[in-house]
Chain A
């Protein structure tokens, strides 16, 4: 995907198109991380392309993109085997959303895409990290469940939407890497959404593995 990167991946999920590039492990620049510690660092950068949304976004990162960068870092960190990285090294992850369809779903796709790019770069990981998002809507007679997985922008910004969820799981290890809940949601709904999201992560994990196994290292270089 990205010739200059050490590893890269592209993913489409519905309308969402995400691109991830991984550089490193490489010497950590003096500016990155706390200079006193010699432990390796993971640096995540999440950005919507200016043309990703119906309304134009700026080139500089806004607060939602900064928050998404942090979510991405928090989701990927548990999977990275830091002890396998050399001291004073850095791994840079750059995720660009080329077309978005709801911020939460975009972040979830970014997590999946970034973990595949990390694997492509030859970074040691405990497992692939698979992201999933959900929106909570008040239940109505015609919809038995009020949790929508990977909602579109219409669903996640609907006025009656009471909350949203971003979850990242490591399906092979059956562990949750990251969990982010917004809004006022009942415990029952949260429990239900976790079950649904874990199932979704597991099936997406199978799909991701099948794609990678099918293409081999089909990624072109240079």
Chain B
């Protein structure tokens, strides 16, 4: 352009005021005032939630010109002076002791990286697994060289959250025969918010199906195996192939269980072993083919809720 063009940025405009007010009542707290929409259910990023500086800012908020704005789409939670916004949807954030099901993404120096649907990959240290040939054996250099024989990229495993690093990443452990490499089954992923902590996350259903309900939303549905054989053979625990005697009936039961879980997730109900099994039995009761379970989920769920006498579960630790 030949001529010098000068133009000023427009003057700051007033923020858009939401036309919709859900509640008219202001929450008065001395000199500070919580905005009317802050009493209502959902706020969006950029929305003003409180006018005064006397509130403490919690998660999901940031200060702007003596005001508190939301930085998340979520629900406002207020504990005395602390205001935070709980997101409507978030990734899994673990707690120590959680049972999780994850997939190995990387093999590193004395450690594996495991994707557990969290904000960061979790770490499984070589020192946190059961080595074959004796539970209490010291790890040797050979074990370091053989790491890919234990877990390699893409392997699924169940583990427990042992601790957290400073950056928020989780450290896992599998030092228990109930944890370890997964085989003979299928992975189902549901939103982690649908799974609650419970006494046990390992269940053998009477249909011959074993469930590992990971708190990160990964549910492992597999063939139930007698526990004694698993414990006996230490070489077996890192085997990556399925059993030879894997009958079509068991495979069908697994598929039916998987689809029942997916159907429950689509119905947005909390998932636990009782409901999974009731859903499974209700589908059998109504003679629904495996492939139609998800599409006829509402019908099956209402039937499962009506008939509560399906429940037969053997708890296994």
Chain A positions within 8 Å of B, measured between CB atoms, are 6-7, 24-27, 79, 81, 84-89, 119-122, 124-128, 170-174, 176, 184, 186-188, 190-191, 194-195, 198, 202-203, 205-206, 209-210, 212-213, 216-217, 220-222
Contacts and interface: CB of A to CB of B under 8 A. Distances in A.
Given A122-B72, A210-B19, A173 B44 contact: no
Secondary structure of the B contact surface, majority rule: loop
A125 B1 contact: no
A216 B41 contact: yes
Given A27-B120, A216-B42, A198 B7 contact: no
Nearest to B191: A221
Given A88-B120, A171-B15, A122 B73 contact: yes
A186 B73 contact: no
A128 B70 CA distance: 11
Interface stretch (B83-91, B135-143, B248-256): B83-91
A210 B19 CA distance: 8
B115 interface: yes
Contact of B72 (A24, A25, A119, A217): A119
Count class of interface residues, chain B: 35 or more
Contacts, number: 142
B212 interface: no
Interface in B97-116: 105, 113, 115
Interface stretch (B28-36, B196-204, B262-270): B262-270
Given A121-B89, A221-B190, 16 more contacts: A25-B91, A27-B113, A122-B88, A122-B91, A172-B46, A174-B12, A188-B7, A190-B5, A191-B8, A209-B44, A210-B18, A212-B44, A213-B44, A217-B42, A221-B265, A221-B266
For B89, B168, B190, which residue has the most chain A Cβ atoms within 10 angstroms? B89
